[in-house]
Amino acid sequence: GLYVGWYEVVISHSSYGGDSSYDYINWNGDDDYLSFFLVLKPPGWIEVTVLDSHSYFPIPNAFVRAYNTTSGELFDSGYTDANGFYNITGLLIGWWTVNVSFPGYDLLSKLDYINWRGDDDYLTFYLATNIPLFSGTVAIFRDRLPWDLNMTEPVLVKYNISYTLYNSSDFGSVDLSSFDKVIIPSDQTQAFYNRLSGNSTWFESYVSNGGFLDLRLTDRGWAGSDWDGLVMPGGLNKTFVYLENVSINLPLHPILNNPFLVEDVELDGWFYSAHGYFHEYPSDAKKILLYPVANEPVMLEFMYGNGFIVATMQTIEWNENKNLTRILENMILYNPGAGFSSINVISPINTDSWNISSTQIVTWDSTGTISNVKLDLFENGSFVMEITAFTPNDGSFTWLVPLGLTNSTLYQVRVSDDDYPLTYGDSDNFEIVDPRSIIIVVPDSTTSWVVSATQDIDWTSTGIIANVKIELYKNGVFVMELTASTLNDGSFSWAIPIGLADSTSYQIRVSDATDATIEDYSDNFEIEDTRSITVVVPDSTTSWTMGDTQNITWTSTGIIANVKIELYANSILIMDIAVSTPNDGTFEWTIPDTLVNYTDYVIRISDVLDPTIYDDSDIFTITGAAGGIPGYDILILSGLLIGVSLTILKKKRKKIRVHER
């Protein structure tokens, strides 16, 4: 349907993208050809950026999870880099749900649709802080107002926070357990600092039990004092220097954001902004503000036992009076127990030994706002298994210790925040052992069993084993299964089947029916086939007459319930005398008159269940009136004509038994 002229042909495909080409139709009926070679595009991706909604600072280590919206299956997870960036790759066409979480912030979720392969989408998450402000009780210890300014108490009154005033003479005598926070203001007397250092263990004990110590340790103020050479609670020591410039090291810390944003420029030029920096402090302390020249903290925070210490060398009350920044207000309202999420695993402990298949309780406590937790098992630092992917953060989880764990004293249980796995606690190293065992008692190395007999296999066991499997081996090679599952009651009756070769290298294997690794092999023992049959009558002197009744007699060993009796002539079966008769050693036979006169008859007696156990009598004679089986006389004569010798000196057909030792 194309007329003469130029045409552009455009093609597109959701997995290949598109392409176009031009073609000219030269005349009516012109038939042209265009080929397009499309390249399959890679899957799509979503570029995720995570920022603080207050300061717009990037949030590193935010936890990003991508779910298939339709199936709900987790597709990818990871943490943002220093720029708050994470790239979710390998996404096929469809809807995707992206969740972002970070401690102290509300979880945020967004939907995105990948339209085609190679689709590159962008999602920016602005996380809002969810740290509740401090609302507990406060104790203030001071001998004087810093710089003669009362800046702390008005903030406490403003937020309806109850407080009690003490001085340094009360150190060591006040019951601090009723206070959620203790504040030590700046610019105190020399006697105050001496007493403060001397009562460090008293304050540290308070913090260890869950208290919060707010240390404003700026000296050399209007009181004219210093604490050079003294060590303050938490092991803090400082270097004195007047500073006008400090820098923010942790821009996302709640003291710099909640409820008021504190920016770097606000912290400089206070005349002076700080009176030194800390040079002795715990190695895991968070350095909130730094003296950039020395790269040492001016303000820091660290956990001490179950509580927290925040300390600063800033002239923080002086600054509040000048209204340069609201960091003092943030510091008073800071609630580290809520803003600092942590998990402490209480049990198991290093003296615990847990058995496989036992039910145990994992316990923990936590700080912050953790709704749900995940439990994992590690051994010697390596991940072993997920105990549970999701359980409420209620401090307890009941766990059935599963089969298949190897014995070790280096197990640990990790409890982590389901929304932020970098917040976790590990238990002490503890032991998991498998107490299950099986020991075979019978058979042992002295055992000798015979085919067709019924014998008891006996064993003992420890631990929880409901059912066992029993097998027979010879020379380490599987022979047969005795039972796939039988009650673990310590005994099993086994009818030894026919067909087993004689050997002294048999073993019984008993194993847990649900866990084959729990097993035991018996000693090597003997199984032999003692069954035999010996025909007594007829013998080589016997001559029976057709029509008479005669007793066929035999002896036997071993367990043979019934026998079969047959008549042979020249190795040819003539007739069944008895298809099955009790193995009682005798059978009364009325000799039929249809037989031919013959001197080389043989009686065969065999085990009905196992024809390989048999015996042939001596050659004997049957005579009588003329007659016989039709055609049998001709058969005998034919044998003679072709030279078949019917002279049998003694046809004793015995079973040959080879004993394997």
Sign of CA dihedral 613, 616, 617, 623: positive
CB atoms within 10 A of CB 216: 24
Q: Give the model's pLDDT for residue 15.
A: 79
Q: Give the model's pLDDT for residue 357.
A: 87
What are phi and psi for residue 440, nearest 5 degrees?
Answer: -80, 130
CATH number of domain containing 356 = 2.60.40.1930
pLDDT (tens digit, 9 = 90+) per residue, 185-237?
999 999 999 999 999 999 999 999 999 999 999 999 999 999 999 999 999 99
Element (H or E) spanning 487, and its range? strand 477-487
User: Does residue 132 form part of some domain?
Assistant: no
Q: Give the model's pLDDT for residue 656.
A: 30
Q: Give the model's pLDDT for residue 82.
A: 96
pLDDT above 80 for 659: no
**Could you tell me the pLDDT band of residue 13, with boundaries at 50, 70 and 90?**
confident
* DSSP designation for 47: E
Q: 430-433 and 353-355 as β-strands: parallel, antiparallel, unpaired? A: parallel
CATH number of domain containing 571 = 2.60.40.10
Tell whether 200 and 152 lie within a shared domain: yes
Sign of CA dihedral 425, 426, 427, 432: positive
**Boundary-marking domain end, from 397, 432, 467:** 432
Distance of CA 312 to the CA centre of its chain: 45
pLDDT above 50 for 310: yes
Rounded-to-integer distance, Cα 499 and Cα 612, Å: 10
pLDDT above 90 for 661: no
Please tell me which residue, 369 or 491, carries the higher pLDDT value: 491
CATH number of domain containing 71 = 2.60.40.1120
Taking Cα atoms as reference points, which of 501, 358, 329, 348 lies closest to residue 412?
Answer: 348
> Average pLDDT in the 66-91 region?
97
**Boundary-marking domain end, from 127, 162, 197:** 127
Q: Give the model's pLDDT for residue 339.
A: 67
Percent share of the chain, pLDDT over 90: 85
> Average pLDDT in the 232-251 region?
96
What residues have CB less than 8 Å from 594, skipping those under 6 apart?
A: 546, 627, 628, 629
- Write the burial class of residue 91 (CB in 10 Å: 0-12 exposed, 13-18 middle, 19+ buried): buried
Q: Give the pTM.
A: 0.65
> Average pLDDT in the 575-589 region?
98
pLDDT (tens digit, 9 = 90+) per residue, 387-417?
999 999 999 999 999 988 999 999 999 999 9
Tell whether 626 and 499 lie within a shared domain: no
Q: Give the model's pLDDT for residue 626.
A: 47
Tell whether 313 and 214 lie within a shared domain: yes
Please tell me which residue, 50 or 643, carries the higher pLDDT value: 50
Q: E strands within 321-429?
A: 342-347, 353-355, 359-367, 372-379, 382-392, 396-400, 408-417, 420-426
What residues have CB less than 8 Å from 523, skipping those under 6 apart?
A: 443, 444, 445, 447, 507
Lowest mean per-residue pLDDT among 34-38, 305-309, 578-582, 637-641: 637-641
Tell whether 418 and 456 lie within a shared domain: no
Q: Give the model's pLDDT for residue 16.
A: 81
- Write the burial class of residue 458 (CB in 10 Å: 0-12 exposed, 13-18 middle, 19+ buried): middle
Rounded-to-integer distance, Cα 304 and Cα 90, Å: 44
Tell the residue number behind the tokens 């008021």, with chain if given.
Answer: 260
Cis (ω within 30 of 0) for the bond into 58?
no
Percent share of the chain, pLDDT over 70: 94
Tell whether 222 and 148 lie within a shared domain: yes
What residues have CB less than 8 Å from 219, skipping those under 6 apart?
A: 186, 187, 188, 193, 225, 226, 227, 240, 275
Amino acid at 384: V
* DSSP designation for 654: B
Q: Give the model's pLDDT for residue 625.
A: 57
Cis (ω within 30 of 0) for the bond into 538?
yes
**In 108-250, where does DSSP find H-type helix?**
152-158, 190-198, 200-208
User: Does residue 20 form part of some domain?
Assistant: no
User: Does residue 25 form part of some domain?
Assistant: no
Tell whether 96 and 180 lie within a shared domain: no
Tell whether 181 and 314 lie within a shared domain: yes
Tell whether 418 and 476 lie within a shared domain: no
User: Does residue 378 form part of some domain?
Assistant: yes
> Average pLDDT in the 2-28 region?
90
Q: Give the model's pLDDT for residue 210.
A: 92
Tell whether 73 and 205 lie within a shared domain: no
The sheet that has 532-537: what strands, in order across it?
532-537, 549-557, 586-590
Q: Give the model's pLDDT for residue 313.
A: 98
pLDDT above 80 for 538: yes
pLDDT above 50 for 627: no
User: Does residue 32 form part of some domain?
Assistant: no
**Could you tell me the pLDDT band of residue 652, with boundaries at 50, 70 and 90?**
very low
**Could you tell me the pLDDT band of residue 361, with boundaries at 50, 70 and 90?**
very high
User: Does residue 3 form part of some domain?
Assistant: no
CB atoms within 10 A of CB 563: 26
CB atoms within 10 A of CB 89: 12
**Boundary-marking domain end, from 412, 432, 452:** 432
> Average pLDDT in the 477-494 region?
98
Q: Give the model's pLDDT for residue 326.
A: 94
Please tell me which residue, 462 or 639, carries the higher pLDDT value: 462
- What domain range is 559 assigned to? 532-641
CB atoms within 10 A of CB 519: 16
Q: Give the model's pLDDT for residue 660.
A: 36
Q: Give the model's pLDDT for residue 33.
A: 94
Q: Give the model's pLDDT for residue 338.
A: 77
**CA angle at residue 229 from 228 to 235, to 5 degrees?**
110
Q: Give the model's pLDDT for residue 645.
A: 36
SS3 for 148? helix
Tell whether 330 and 406 lie within a shared domain: no
Q: Give the model's pLDDT for residue 636.
A: 47
Amino acid at 633: D
pLDDT above 90 for 134: yes
Taking Cα atoms as reference points, which of 525, 456, 454, 529 lies closest to residue 498?
Answer: 529
Are 195 and 168 within 8 A, CB to CB? yes
Tell whether 219 and 334 lie within a shared domain: yes
User: Does residue 354 form part of some domain?
Assistant: yes
Amino acid at 97: T
pLDDT above 60 for 650: no
Are 418 and 390 within 8 A, CB to CB? yes
End-to-end Cα separation, the chain, in angstroms: 95
Q: What is the average pLDDT value for the chain, to the nearest integer? A: 92
Q: Give the model's pLDDT for residue 324.
A: 83
Q: Domain count for the chain, please give it.
A: 5
Taking Cα atoms as reference points, which of 417, 545, 313 lies closest to residue 105?
Answer: 417
User: Does residue 157 form part of some domain?
Assistant: yes
pLDDT above 70 for 630: no
Tell whether 181 and 316 lie within a shared domain: yes
